[in-house]
């Protein structure tokens, strides 16, 4: 991101496209990448927050699949990439079948998945995201 990708605005085809829209090339190219920083749910894997992160940055947790056995996942929903922009809100109760299917996919494809933990708002009945959790395959990233 900070190397070649940031300089793509200076490619001839980029400059042509900008000019077609009456825009000049930026004097300085910058990378703005909002997102979540995921922390290990297990303390011994914890790392310090990078100095460059704002104090109130978006946070989530990550955990390996084999550590899920003692965690209550009844209010978790799997998120697909377009839904990562969050926060996730839904009117229906979290579907345990979709959760089970997504966890099985992690085990069989060795591909991490993102989940939102929801909590029901008792005033309007809507389920709202209270946490984000990346579940990674057992042994990840070593496998």
Instruction: Return the pLDDT at 44.
Output: 54
Instruction: Return the pLDDT at 1.
Output: 57
Instruction: Report the run of H or E that residue 119 belongs to, with start and end.
Output: strand 113-120
CA 118, CA 99: separation in Å to the nearest integer?
12
Least Cα distance to 115 among 64, 72, 73 occurs for: 73
pLDDT beyond 60 at 63 = yes
Supply the DSSP string of 35-63, one letter for each residue.
-EEEEESSGGG--PPPTTS-TT-EEEEEE
Counting every residue, how long is the chain? Answer: 143
Please give the DSSP secondary-structure letter assigned to residue 24.
Answer: P
pLDDT beyond 60 at 35 = yes
CA dihedral 125, 130, 1, 11 (to 10 degrees): 20
Least Cα distance to 99 among 81, 72, 73, 131 occurs for: 73
Task: Tell how far CA 8 is from the center of its chain.
Answer: 25
The string of pLDDT tens digits covering residues 87-125 is 899 999 999 999 999 999 999 999 999 999 999 999 999
Instruction: Return the pLDDT at 32.
Output: 66
What is the overall mean pLDDT for the chain?
A: 86
Show Cβ contacts of residue 139 under 8 Å, excluding neighbours closer than 6 positions: 64
């Amino acid at each position: 991101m900070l190397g070649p990708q940031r300089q793509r605005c200076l490619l001839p085809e980029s400059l042509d496209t900008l000019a077609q829209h009456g825009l000049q090339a930026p004097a300085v190219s910058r990378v703005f990448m909002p997102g979540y920083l995921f922390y290990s749910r297990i303390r011994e894997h914890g790392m310090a927050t990078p100095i460059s992160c704002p104090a109130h940055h978006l946070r989530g947790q990550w955990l390996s699949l084999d550590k899920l056995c003692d965690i209550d996942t009844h209010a978790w929903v799997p998120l697909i990439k377009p839904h990562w922009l969050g926060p996730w809100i839904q009117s229906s109760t979290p579907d345990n079948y979709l959760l089970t299917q997504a966890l099985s996919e992690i085990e069989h494809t060795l591909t991490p998945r993102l989940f939102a933990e929801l909590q029901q708002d008792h005033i309007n009945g809507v389920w709202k995201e209270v946490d984000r959790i990346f579940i990674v395959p057992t042994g990840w990233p070593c496998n």
